[in-house]
């Protein structure tokens, strides 16, 4: 191994071997194709004419926005409104519970912390296809079956633990002197949380809210089982049920899929780097 071959320090593991770099490059191209082509296929199909679906290749031969214009006549708009209602309610509910909880669980040495954290983790690990049965019974007892608020309550059980686990380290990282100073100035805990901690942790809270929002936006199991009437379904259920139903109008369905991905596109464009920090903290720490 000659000195001439060696790359500058800190460039990762493949920086030296030319061969490895070539392998990496090929893999990178394959990766881009594996994730880009299905998305291109979705977009391309949504721009096809219904009559061209069987004959066209991957891309539309006569690009048209017909699919996008026609679904304004279908039950797409109610589904879109339902998705907005459910996901905003879920996000507000989840963050409203999780922010104080994350603060309450931060920087304390109580013996209740470990059992509390274990409960939060366990909630996330239990299959939703098992919990929806008793939740259905509970919501039925509360008169909340076929109610979008019932769906939000059920979804919040998934997102409260997630949000607490992401936000708690952020609260832990605030300098203790900050809270002491606030306390000396006469600010109670609630005021410290709202006026000092929250503005400081604004970005972390916003990213957490964004992840909860798009997750709720795409949530299927609870929306599918707790809502009994077509006009209450959110987009996720609308798509899932349409997949089996209209076999010949894939251009319509793909246009709905494209629109359903727009919130995700916005979130990723706005906060790609912060998302990584969020998911890393929430998942592994």
Partner 1 sequence: MTVPLAERSGSLAAGDARRVAGRPAARRRGPSGRLLFALPAFAFLIVFFVYPLGLLFDTSVREVSLGSAATPGNPLVGAENYRTVLAETAFREAVPRTLIFLIGSVALQLVLGLCVALVLNERFRGVAIPRFLIYFVWLLPPVVSGAVWKYALDGTEQGAVNDALLALGVVDSPVLFLTRPAVALAAITLVTAWAGVPFVAIVLTAALKDVPGELYEAARVDGCGSWHRFRWVTLPSVTPTLSILGTLLLIYSFKAFDYIFVLTQGGPGTSTSTVPYLAYLYSFAQFDFGLGSAIGVVSVVTALVFAVPYLLQVRKEEQS
Pick out residues in 174-193 that bind partner 1 (CB under 8 A): 177-181, 183-186, 188-189, 193
| CA quadruple 56, 58, 64, 67: dihedral sign | positive
Site size for partner 1 (CB under 8 A): 126
Stretch that binds partner 1, among 63-71, 74-82, 155-163, 201-209 (CB under 8 A): 155-163
Give least dist CB 220 to partner 1, A: 5
Q: Which is nearer to partner 1, 72 or 141 (CB)?
A: 141
* Selected binder of partner 1 within 2, 4, 72, 112 (CB under 8 A): 112
The token duo for 261 is 């991905």
Pick out residues in 14-33 that bind partner 1 (CB under 8 A): 14-17, 20-21, 24-25, 27-28, 31-32
Give least dist CB 75 to partner 1, A: 16
Instruction: Please list, in sequence order, all residues whose beta carbon lies within 8 angstroms of the beta carbon of residue 138, skipping any fewer than 6 positions away.
Output: none
Pick out residues in 50-69 that bind partner 1 (CB under 8 A): 53-54, 57-58
| C-alpha span between 45 and 18 (Å, rounded) | 40
User: Does residue number 119 form part of the binding site for partner 1 (CB under 8 A)?
Assistant: yes
Q: 231-270 mask for partner 1 (x: CB under 8 A)?
A: ----xx--xx-xxx-----x--xx--x--xx--xx-xx--
Contact at 8 Å (CB) between 278 and 208? Answer: yes
User: Does residue number 134 form part of the binding site for partner 1 (CB under 8 A)?
Assistant: yes
User: In angstroms, what CA-CA distances link 91 with 34, 127, 133?
Assistant: 32, 21, 23
Pick out residues in 65-104 that bind partner 1 (CB under 8 A): 97-98, 100-101, 103-104
Residue with tokens 């096809």: 48
| C-alpha span between 253 and 67 (Å, rounded) | 8
Contact at 8 Å (CB) between 165 and 282? Answer: yes
| C-alpha span between 264 and 233 (Å, rounded) | 20
Contact at 8 Å (CB) between 60 and 44? Answer: yes
| C-alpha span between 60 and 63 (Å, rounded) | 5
Q: Which is nearer to partner 1, 70 or 249 (CB)?
A: 249
User: Does residue number 173 form part of the binding site for partner 1 (CB under 8 A)?
Assistant: no
């Amino acid at each position: 191994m000659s000195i001439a071959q060696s790359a500058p320090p800190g460039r990762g593991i493949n920086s030296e071997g030319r061969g490895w770099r070539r392998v990496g490059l090929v893999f990178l191209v394959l990766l881009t194709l594996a994730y880009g082509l299905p998305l291109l296929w979705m977009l391309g199909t949504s721009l096809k004419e219904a009559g061209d679906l069987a004959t066209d290749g991957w891309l539309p031969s006569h690009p048209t926005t017909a699919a996008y214009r026609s679904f304004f006549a279908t039950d797409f708009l109610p589904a879109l409104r339902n998705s907005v209602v459910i996901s905003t309610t879920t996000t507000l509910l989840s963050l409203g519970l999780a922010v104080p909880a994350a603060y309450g669980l931060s920087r304390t040495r109580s013996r209740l912390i470990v059992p509390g954290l274990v409960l939060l983790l366990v909630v996330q690990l239990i299959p939703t296809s098992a919990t929806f049965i008793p939740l259905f019974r509970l919501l039925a007892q509360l008169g909340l079956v076929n109610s979008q608020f019932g769906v939000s309550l059920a979804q919040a059980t998934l997102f409260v633990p997630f949000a607490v686990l992401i936000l708690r380290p952020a609260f832990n990282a605030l300098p203790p002197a900050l809270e002491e100073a606030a306390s000396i100035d006469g600010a109670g805990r609630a005021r410290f949380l709202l006026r000092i901690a929250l503005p400081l942790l604004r970005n972390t809270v916003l990213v957490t809210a964004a992840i909860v929002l798009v997750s709720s936006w795409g949530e299927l199991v609870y929306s599918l089982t707790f809502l009994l009437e077509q006009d209450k379904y959110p987009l996720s259920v609308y798509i899932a049920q349409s997949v089996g139903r209209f076999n010949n109008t894939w251009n319509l369905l793909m246009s709905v899929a494209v629109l359903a991905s727009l919130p995700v596109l916005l979130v990723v464009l706005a906060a790609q780097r912060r998302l990584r920090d969020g998911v890393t903290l929430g998942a592994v720490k």
